């Protein structure tokens, strides 16, 4: 992660959560935290167990919703409306 910023456990946790979310593109993570896709991959590699990292990479590799330029224009939000139930 960027050396110019002090990262809290909460920041790291949120980036990991966003990286796992299918509908949150890498561009959103970069906008909020300044981490491009390769920096997110490095973070995930350093923070996850090896098996979890491989599972995550398999899951996000080629996933159109994780890349803003490949997204269907109909996908206008970063999360499912039922994701955050109240």
pLDDT tens digits, 26-79:
999 999 999 999 999 999 999 999 999 999 999 988 777 676 665 556 655 555
Six-digit token string for 30: 């970069």
Tell which wins on pLDDT, 13 or 22.
Answer: 13
Which residue, chain included where needed, has tokens 């561009």?
A: 27
Q: How high is the pLDDT of residue 6? A: 85
Whose CA is closest to 64, among 36, 33, 27?
A: 27
The predicted model scores a pTM of 0.74
Q: How high is the pLDDT of residue 73? A: 62
Residue 13 has pLDDT above 90, yes or no: yes
d(C-alpha 2, C-alpha 30), whole Å: 11
């Amino acid at each position: 992660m960027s050396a110019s910023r002090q990262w809290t456990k909460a920041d790291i946790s949120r980036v990991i959560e966003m990286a796992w979310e299918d509908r949150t593109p890498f561009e959103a993570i970069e906008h909020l935290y300044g981490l491009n896709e390769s920096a997110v991959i490095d973070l995930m590699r350093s923070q996850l167990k090896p098996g979890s990292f491989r599972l995550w990479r398999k899951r996000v590799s080629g996933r159109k919703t994780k890349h803003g330029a490949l997204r269907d224009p109909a996908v206008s939000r970063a999360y499912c409306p039922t994701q955050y139930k109240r």
